[in-house]
Each structure stands twice: as C-alpha cells, then as structure tokens.
Amino acid sequence: ALLGQQETNLSDGSQQRVTQLLKTAEPGGLYGAAGDLSDALPYRDRPGGLRAIAQVHDRYILAEQPDGLCLIEQHIAHERVLYERLNDRWQLVPLTTPVVLEGLNEKQLEQFERLGLAPEEFGPNRWAIRQAPEPLRDRDDLPDALLELSLGGNLDTAQVAIACRTAIRNGTPLDLATLQTLLDDWQRTRNPRTCPHGRPICLTLSESSLARFFRRSWVVGKSHGI
C-alpha cells in the first residue's frame, strides 16, 4: 500500500527513468533480488563510522564511510532520534501559561485524557491544558501541536507526531559539527533504517557500485587500446 501510494506521483518519461534507478534501492524487498540496496548500510558493523563531509541543498547530509558514501535526509534522521528518545522517556511538564482550546468534541477530550493531558473546563465550550509533552513546552506552535495530538491515535502516534514536529526541518542550513552530531545520534538509534513513518533515511552508494558505474575496473585492463 505504501509503495502504491507513491506511484501516483509519477509524471513524465525522465522521471520514470530516474524512478527506475532508485526503485531498486528502496528497502522492503518488493522488487525481488534487486530490491534492497540499503541492506548494505554500513553503520551496523561500524557504529560511528560515518563522517559528515557536506550538507546538500540544506536537506541531505553527505557522509563518507570507508566503503562508499551515504546521503541522509536530515529531517527524518532527526525524527528517528527524537522519536526513540520520546519512547524511552515520555514526560509531561507543567506549562507556565495554560493553553486554552475551544470547541473540543468528545473524542478529542477522550484522547487528551488518554495521553494524560487532563483538560480542565474553562468557561463555556473552552478547556485549559496545563501541561504538555516536554519537547513541545516552549514552542510557539504549542496550541496547534496539542490540537494535532487530540485528533486520534495512541501514545505511539502522539510520539511520532511530536518527533516530526520538533525535528530539524529540511531547508535548514547546518554546520559540519551539527551534521556530525546528528549523524552520530542517528547511528546509535535502535532502528536507523527508517523514520517512524516508515520512510528510508539513508541512500548508500558503495564504492564497488560507483567503481562499476564509472567503469573503473574496465578501463584499467582494457581501454588504452595501444
């Protein structure tokens, strides 16, 4: 279903070609033997082995490792880090200023109770929320975040939503030290393969595949022709 949803986004022939290239790299094994390039992810054997060397388009971390290179999407790598932290330590903290929400329905109120947020009646059709999950405490978008949490799901769904909201956005310029810290944190997660929504975090190009693309082995033996 997940891949099915993607398909809708295709348009022209050139996109189709590119798609073909990357299809074989997608995790999930849907494409048979050619399906799972990401099995070759290096950090399983060599935790900490990735070295950040550049940020691309304020969106990807380019990392070098002994056998090739990786492109990591910064937002979802950070999302994975934050999500696992929330899993390990879910903490509600008191707010200095309560958030007042209007027009909540029964299901939303139940969802708040389920998350332990205990809305308090605050005049007609209004409720005060006096505590919040720790990562949301100081955010300007706290009311929106709380409304999002009220819309359904369980505690895990809430943690995914909070991780997504608070992770570094794509489009944010980051210096090399920050990129390296993010890489290190991400490599230490229990499931670095995907973000909590199931998206792949890392595209690996191994040196052997690059050597093949650039036909290095071919040229050494054969190409001079003299």
The residues in 198-217 that bind its own copies, with binding defined as CB under 8 A, are 198-201, 203, 205-210, 212-217
Q: In the chain, where does DSSP find H-type helix?
A: 2-7, 13-23, 74-88, 106-114, 142-150, 155-166, 176-187, 207-213, 216-222
Least Å distance, CB 36 to its own copies, is 7
Residue from the set 45, 57, 173, 190 that interacts with its own copies by CB under 8 A? 57
Confirm if 115 and 134 have CB atoms less than 8 A apart: no
Q: How far is the CB of 190 from its own copies (least distance, A)?
A: 20
Among 107, 151, 188, 191, contact with its own copies (rule: CB under 8 A) = 151
Nearer residue to its own copies within complex by CB, 59 or 122: 59
Our CB check for its own copies shows the closer of 27 and 119 to be 27
Phi and psi at residue 95, in whole multiples of 5°?
A: -95, 140
* Nearest Cα to Cα of residue 137 among 118, 165, 173: 165
- Distance in angstroms (rounded) separating the CA atoms of residues 5 and 46: 34
- Minimum gap (Å) between residue 132 Cβ and its own copies: 16
Q: Applying CB under 8 A, which of residues 136, 161, 167, 183 lies at the interface with its own copies?
A: 161
Site for its own copies in 82-141 (CB under 8 A): none
Contact 201, 80 (CB under 8 A): yes
Provide the minimum distance between the beta carbon of 150 and its own copies in the complex, in angstroms, as a whole number. 9
- Of 5 and 96, the one with the shorter C-beta distance to its own copies is 5
Q: Which of 40, 128, 155, 168 binds its own copies (CB under 8 A)?
A: 40
Cβ–Cβ < 8 Å for 137, 130: no
CB 58 within 8 A of CB 172: yes
User: Quick check: 30 binds its own copies (CB under 8 A)?
Assistant: no
Contact between 44 and its own copies (CB under 8 A)? no
Bridging pattern class, strands 68-73 and 202-206: antiparallel
Binding of its own copies at residue 191 (CB under 8 A)? no
